[in-house]
Amino acid sequence: MTSVVELTDRQKREKEYYDQYAGSFDLNREVDFSPVVAKEKRPWNSYWSVYHLAAESFKPNALLLDFGSGPGDNALRFAKIGYKVEGFDISESNVAVSHMVFEKNGFSGQGNFQVSPAETLPYPDNHFDFIAGIDILHHIDIAKSIAECRRVLKPGGIAIFREPLEVPLLDLIRNTWVVKLFAPKKKSFELHITEDERKLNQTDIAVVGKIFPNQVLKRYFLLARFDKFIREGSDPQPSLLEKIDYFLMTKIPALRYLGGVVIFVLKKD
């Protein structure tokens, strides 16, 4: 189903970027299910933590919304947990890829995807048991989208979002020309950076907290910032720096405020 709402300029740019970016996906790629099937837990890894939280909340016949579902890999892992999954994305190509990924992996009956902007969702009120969004809020209008998230979530339901977060002091250093020389930040397909994305900040956290007063924040990613210089992004082995971050933030809670990734755990009371 295709949404008929008139898109904003920002939404059009995101759609155009991801319609093109989706063309780079290898449809025969193997989706890595380890975050949902491995015996080992990785509480220090923010992505694995999203799946742990989803698995903890799972009940038979539960309906999960993958909020900004991209090419469908995350949705497939939620389906592997046992959820019936709905997903939406502004990019038609991503939605088409998601259907193919579900079919290829034998999960067609467990997932459905629609083209829609996050700011106006095509679902009824109080519809989903659980909502999960990965790397999505920093691409969209947060106030409108989180209001929609709350509307479609069942009372008592949980929504979680994993997002990059601004840390003013560290970002000041990050944005110096010397660092940008080694790690550019301009729009790029190779680096997977769109023109409009930006890290969340304290104002965004307050906006989310106004809509979901029952909000818990989990922080990650301190020394692991340096992984991009010493590890392949797709390396499936655990990151030593993420483990050290987890240890340090547990022992010295003040360090959490330097964490560059946040997971929002939002409950609709």
Q: In the complex, which residues of this chain contact ligand SAM (CB under 6 A)?
A: 11, 14, 18, 68-70, 74, 89-91, 94, 117-119, 134-136, 139-140
Q: From the CB of 175, what's the least distance to ligand SAM, in Å?
A: 20
178-202: burial string, b at 16+ Cβ within 10 Å, e else: eeeeeeeeeeeeeeeebeebebbee
Q: From the CB of 178, what's the least distance to ligand SAM, in Å?
A: 27
Residue nearer to ligand SAM on the CB measure, 138 or 218? 138
Among all residues, whose Cβ is closest to ligand SAM? Answer: 70
Across the beta sheet with 84-89, what order do the strands follow?
111-115, 84-89, 63-67, 128-134, 153-164, 261-267, 215-220
Q: From the CB of 196, what's the least distance to ligand SAM, in Å?
A: 8
Residue nearer to ligand SAM on the CB measure, 121 or 222? 121
Label the pairing between strands 261-267 and 215-220: antiparallel
Q: Burial, 133: exposed, middle or buried (Cβ in 10 Å; 0-12, 13-18, 19+)?
A: buried
Torsion of CA 113, 114, 120, 126, to 10 degrees: -40
DSSP alpha helices (H): ranges in 62-120?
73-81, 92-104
Residue nearer to ligand SAM on the CB measure, 97 or 167? 97
Q: From the CB of 119, what's the least distance to ligand SAM, in Å?
A: 6
Q: From the CB of 36, what's the least distance to ligand SAM, in Å?
A: 15
Residue nearer to ligand SAM on the CB measure, 149 or 249? 149
Residue nearer to ligand SAM on the CB measure, 152 or 249? 152
